[in-house]
Structure 1
Amino acid sequence: MVGKFSKFLKEVKLELKKVSWPSKNELIGATVVTFIFVAFLAIYIGVIDFLLSRLMTFLLK
């Protein structure tokens, strides 16, 4: 069991060496784009929720 786990960890280490990691600038750029997209989506959903809430309040009066 320990031998299989040790072999697995060695294979993981070899595979991680093959990975093409992003540069710091690419990582920061992707993070900024992600945050902007999430903020836009949150605002969009919030506005839709607010409008539908107002509509339901109006219709149920």
Structure 2
Amino acid sequence: MSSLTQFIRNVSSEMRKVSWPRRKELTGYTITVVATVTILALFFAGVDLIISKTIRFVLGL
């Protein structure tokens, strides 16, 4: 049990050393991630649609 207590103390100590982003930075990072995921989702949906249409055309379905 003492090793668990020591572990929790060490984690707590390390968490105080972490440099947390400010609200403005965090907002910017969040917008970047959401925009990137949206763009990639649209890109892959388009590629999937093109490949599906091509395969259906080639197979005559």
Give the TM-score range, shorter chain. over 0.9
Report what 2:33 is aligned to. Answer: 34
How many residues were matched structurally? 60
Report what 2:55 is aligned to. Answer: 56
TM-score (norm. length: structure 1): 0.96
The amino acid of 2:35's aligned partner reads I
Q: Which consecutive residues of structure 1, in runs of 5 or more, have no partner in the other structure?
A: none
Deviation (angstroms), 1:8: 0.4
The amino acid of 2:59's aligned partner reads L
TM-score (norm. length: structure 2): 0.96
Partners in 2 of 1:9 and 1:28 — Cα distance?
Answer: 30
Partners in 2 of 1:38 and 1:58 — Cα distance?
Answer: 30
Q: Runs ≥4 in structure 1, deviation > 2 angstroms?
A: none
The amino acid of 1:12's aligned partner reads V
Instruction: Give the share of equivalent positions with the same residue, in percent.
Output: 32
Deviation (angstroms), 1:22: 0.3
Report what 1:14 is aligned to. Answer: 13
Partners in 1 of 2:42 and 2:16 — Cα distance?
Answer: 40
